[in-house]
Structure formats: structure tokens, C-alpha cells
Amino acid sequence: MAEVLLFHHALGLGPGTIDFAQELRTAGHIVHTPDLFQGRTFDSIGKGMAYVESVGFDTITERGVLAAEQLPQALVYAGFSLGVLPAQKLAQTRPGARGALFFYSCVPASFFGPWPALVPVQIHGAAHDPYFVDDGDLEAARELAAQAQAGELFLYPGDQHYFADGSLASYDPDSAALLTQRVLEFLSKL
């Protein structure tokens, strides 16, 4: 059993994130899903990112860091897209991380210092997702996976950013099922 701190994407804490967290709970894991947007949800990435820009990326990231303060240090940090920012920061800077799961996004490890080599990481993204590929996340993911002793990068077919969110039109059930299987295998090894 693992304890996971899971951060939502730019649409807010919606049913897709909640359902994914429940799948992990059903498998026996403890999952925390803080709301970085304080109750706000959005119907497009553009609107969600406009909110983030209005309050600041640092503020959103720090809300994630504050959510971790109430929890034990032995956590797996996970994030969907925007949620990767606090997850990655915590995995790299908070002692005791057991692992990291990054979905649809990754920033260069240098944003937060060196990657702790003993912290295993999985990174999942669509092979033709313009947010993941064109914005540099794929390159950052390759570098980060190479820095970890147990680093894995999984690319899925398609170009949809939120392909594993069952509440959205971008949902790809086959890729989502494979992503979930890989995540559960990762968590079972910790």
C-alpha cells in the first residue's frame, strides 16, 4: 500500500481526477486530492490557465506544498498536467518521497534542483500531444527519467492532452486503462 498526494489539472478538481483517485483507493492505496483552485472548475484549458495566471503559478504550486505539510513525508507525489508542478517540486525537495507519477507534463528537473536519484518516477504522455511534445515537456521527461535509477517514460498513441480523464471528450479508454495498470504496478512495488 502506498499513500499518494494527487494534484488535479487546469480544469480544477473534477470528476476525472476524483474517479482516478478512487481507482487507486479501490486497489488499497490511500489517496489525497487537495483542491488547488479552492472550489473553482473550468470547462477549457484556456480558462483554467487564465485563472492560474491571475493568481500565479507560484501560488498554485505553494498551495500544493501546503497541502503536503499535513501529511506524512513517505508519500508518492502525483499530478495531472498543471498538477505536476507541485508534485514534482515536492518529490524533488521534500525529504522522504517514495515515488512520483507525472501525467501529461514534466518540467526540467533544474526548476527544483537535482532529481533525487533513489526516488522512482513514471511519466505518462501522449506521443503527439502538442502541450507535451511542443512545449518541451517530452524532452524534460526523457532527461528526468534518465536521472532516476528507476525512471520510466511511457508514450501513448494520439494527440489528446487529458487522454486518461474519463469525464472529458479527450478520453481514450485503451490508453487510460494501460496508464492505470502501469500506475498500479508502480505503486505495488513501493
Per-residue pLDDT tens digits for 86-108: 999 999 999 999 999 999 999 99
Could you tell me which residues are beta bridge partners of residue 102?
A: 79, 123
* Rounded (to 5) percent helix, strand, coil in the chain: 45, 15, 40
Q: What is the pLDDT of residue 23?
A: 98
Phi, psi (deg, nearest 5) at residue 5: -110, 110
Architecture, CATH, for domain 3-188: 3-Layer(aba) Sandwich (3.40)
Per-domain residue ranges of the chain: 3-188
**pLDDT at position 57, please?**
96
The whole-number pLDDT of residue 33 equals 98
pTM, to two decimals:
0.97
**Measured between alpha carbons, how far is 51 from 69 in angstroms, rounded to an integer?**
24
Which residues does the chain have with pLDDT short of 70? none
